[in-house]
Amino acid sequence: MPKQSSTRKGQFATSARMRDVAKRAGVSTMTVSRALNEPSKVSEEMRERVLSAVKEIGYLPNHLASSLSSNRSTTIGLIVPSIDNSIYTQTVKGLSDVIRQSGFQLMIAESGYDPNEEEELITAFLTHRVSGLVLHSAEHTPQAVAKIAKSGVPVVENGNIPEKPIDMVVSYSNWDAAYTMTMHLGRLGYKHIAFASLYSVHNDRSRDRLKGYRAALEQLGLDYDPRLVIETSRGLSSGAEVVARVVHSVPEVDALFCAGDVLAVGALFECQKRGWAVPGRIAIASFDDVELLRHLSPSVTTLRLPRYDIGERSARMLLSRIMDGAEHFRGSIVDLKFEVIQRESA
Amino acid sequence: MPKQSSTRKGQFATSARMRDVAKRAGVSTMTVSRALNEPSKVSEEMRERVLSAVKEIGYLPNHLASSLSSNRSTTIGLIVPSIDNSIYTQTVKGLSDVIRQSGFQLMIAESGYDPNEEEELITAFLTHRVSGLVLHSAEHTPQAVAKIAKSGVPVVENGNIPEKPIDMVVSYSNWDAAYTMTMHLGRLGYKHIAFASLYSVHNDRSRDRLKGYRAALEQLGLDYDPRLVIETSRGLSSGAEVVARVVHSVPEVDALFCAGDVLAVGALFECQKRGWAVPGRIAIASFDDVELLRHLSPSVTTLRLPRYDIGERSARMLLSRIMDGAEHFRGSIVDLKFEVIQRESA
DNA sequence: TTGTAGGCGTTATCAC
DNA sequence: GTGATAACGCCTACAA
């Protein structure tokens, strides 16, 4: 004789199970499962009986159980360097839009630009059996890479185009973007182009932007002057400091390329405070086309990066790997390019 | 004779299981489980044996299985109206910081200001057996509320202080904030105070801000003029439009309270474009103390809201309900207050 | 089209 | 302190 109910103690109100639905509908649990997940494999009458039983009981499927049993989950893990950085939110939105449509859920965590923390998060996501990973950073611990490989979970890196990708990549090239903007400034006639970015420690995006800047200088036949390169932290004040420092050490500076929108705005404000013409005394260029830059006066020349598209494509590729087993995406590198937005500030 | 390996087909490489660790360490799975989760209940020798076996094999626990078996999960669901709104990111950061420390993971989704979508997301989270929910909106479908109640999952609402809370609340009062700022403007001597906010359809925060504004007007003995109230969409351009519309319909307007930082910035830019003194021709006040407002010229008077703290406290209360079963938090309302930041623009 | 049997990987429970 | 056993709720595989 079957037990009427479990004697195990649980902290939650015991919710209705599939077997309760089955009993109520007078069918087996398999029919319930099929009616819910593969409706076409069930006769219409059964389907209706099951669905009304589901409603009457208020049954909510248990995804933990179904994932465990079917060995497939519907969660995707996303790791960003910093959650309160508006730059990523567009990408997150792109991911979220696509993922939700397919009934997947996003687990999000922040690494704080620390590869060891990233590794811990990857491990945590793997224990949660995410079916895919999205990593913004391209810098990982060897252990993290090894764990991912061992798990077999598909991965998209989407903050940069790494030299040695783990698996798939959907991004623009930070090197290329910085190179292009620097070339653009050079062609506009600027001769002493300063470069400001966030600290490049554990930040491959910053490093690649610096490299692109240097490559462009070389191409332009301009000397590289380390006094013109400044790394700093996020914030409008940092942008202001950059102007102060660079003008102090190299008075003949005539352009400032800020590899970060917040820095650029801070720099512009500082110039305005000093009563400098932008451009004129100094030109300013930014990175990322946030709405604000278009509305400032002078409007700020910048790079438009495909932030939303990166999220969207990342999600699509990941999902086709996960759902359709589309192996041809394995190792794909998608370079989504960017655009120079010429405005008044340079 | 035990099977050597499963014959089931799965899409993933079969990862090591607890039983593999157990075999390697020459113990039972229960000892492995204890060594991992309740180390104090296992002898030191066993612990070491198990842990080294774990390392050698590269074992990653399966959270799905453990959650299913123990009937407790380590995920928390968060629903925000819009993922690409920088206002929430601070709260998300506060939540994330606390939650991560306790080994929990955050599932995040966006409702797009749609209660029906919110209900679907709540349902989805419930099927994933989240152990807690954080909702930014205070407006829910009755079905959503019923499902939550039935599930027994603890909930925090944190975008507003609702009249009829579902369970716990950690927020500031939108009514109070708008009331306070309007009173502030009134005391500064402004007589024709306009009010701009985001559309209030399915946005209880906007609605309460409007009510607070009206209550303050009454308190100040100022007439309510519907032409001075404008609802619009997000964006700097919307802020500019607000200025145009309100000045056109009520030329004697002398202050504009924008219940949204982006609107305020857009409004200020428009005034500058028109060459108006701020304040003087018109004063501007904002909502939320984003860094930019302090750096603009004139710097913008605004409200400092405890965005990060809201996330932090929400997480703490949720976790103590979940982990310690601290029932005294059930139904708690925490009003975290706010601060008027007086600057130059008003 | 539907049902039966058994297992997914872990933990609660109880015996030793 | 450790282990054997039976769930947890669902789905794969196979049978009817």
Domains and CATH numbers, chain A: 6-61 (1.10.260.40), 73-172+308-337 (3.40.50.2300), 174-304 (3.40.50.2300)
Q: Looking at the predicted structure, is the pLDDT value of residue B8 above 60?
A: no
Q: CB within 8 A of B55, min separation 6: which ones?
A: none
Q: What 3-state DSSP class applies to A20?
A: helix
- Asked if B89 and A86 come within 8 Å (Cβ–Cβ), the reply is yes
> Any idea which residue has 């960003």 for tokens?
A80
Convert the pLDDT of each residue in B177-194 to its tens digit: 999 999 999 999 999 999
- Looking at the partner chain, which of B8, B152, B295 has a beta carbon nearest the beta carbon of A236? B295
Determine whether the interchain pair B124/A107 forms a contact, defined as Cβ–Cβ distance below 8 Å.
Answer: no
- Residues of chain B with C-beta less than 8 angstroms from the C-beta of A297: 269, 272-273
Using DSSP, state whether B135 is helix, strand or coil: strand
The reply to whether residue A292 touches residue B297, judged by beta carbons under 8 angstroms, is no
User: What's the CA gap between A87 and A107, in Å, rounded?
Assistant: 18
Q: Which residue is nearest to nucleotide D3 (CA to C1')?
A: B28
What are the residues facing B303 on neighbouring strands? B340
The reported pLDDT for the residue numbered B11 is 42
Q: Quick check: B277 pLDDT over 60?
A: yes
Is pLDDT at B14 greater than 80 in this prediction?
no
pLDDT above 90 coverage of chain B, percent: 93
Statement: residue B287 has pLDDT above 70: yes
B328 in contact with chain A, both atoms CB, cutoff 8 A: no
Q: In chain A, pLDDT over 90 holds for what percent of residues?
A: 93
pLDDT for position A87: 86
The pLDDT value given to residue A86? 80
Q: What is the largest CA-CA distance in chain A?
A: 91
Tokens 């509320």 belong to B145
Cα A235-A239-A241 angle, rounded to 5 deg: 110
CA-based nearest residue to A310, from A205, A110, A215, A170: A170
Percent of chain B with pLDDT over 70: 96
**Gap between the Cα atoms of A125 and A148, Å rounded:** 10
Amino acid at B297: S
Question: Is the sign of the CA dihedral B256, B260, B263, B265 positive or negative?
Answer: positive
Query: Which of B103, B127, B266 lies at the smallest CB-CB distance from A63?
Result: B127
pLDDT, mean of each 10-residue run, chain A (346 residues): 37 77 96 96 94 96 97 97 89 97 97 97 98 97 97 97 97 98 98 97 97 98 98 97 98 97 98 96 97 96 98 97 91 97 97
Question: ∠ at Cα B67 (B65, B68), nearest 5°?
Answer: 65
Spatial separation of the C-alpha atoms in residues A205 and A85, rounded to whole Å = 15
A115 close to A137: Cβ distance less than 8 angstroms: yes
pLDDT, position A15: 85
SS3 A66: helix
Q: For chain B, give the mean pLDDT.
A: 94
Cα–Cα dist B327/B229, whole Å: 43
The C-alpha angle B9, A70, A17, rounded to 5 degrees, equals: 150
pLDDT at res. A326: 85
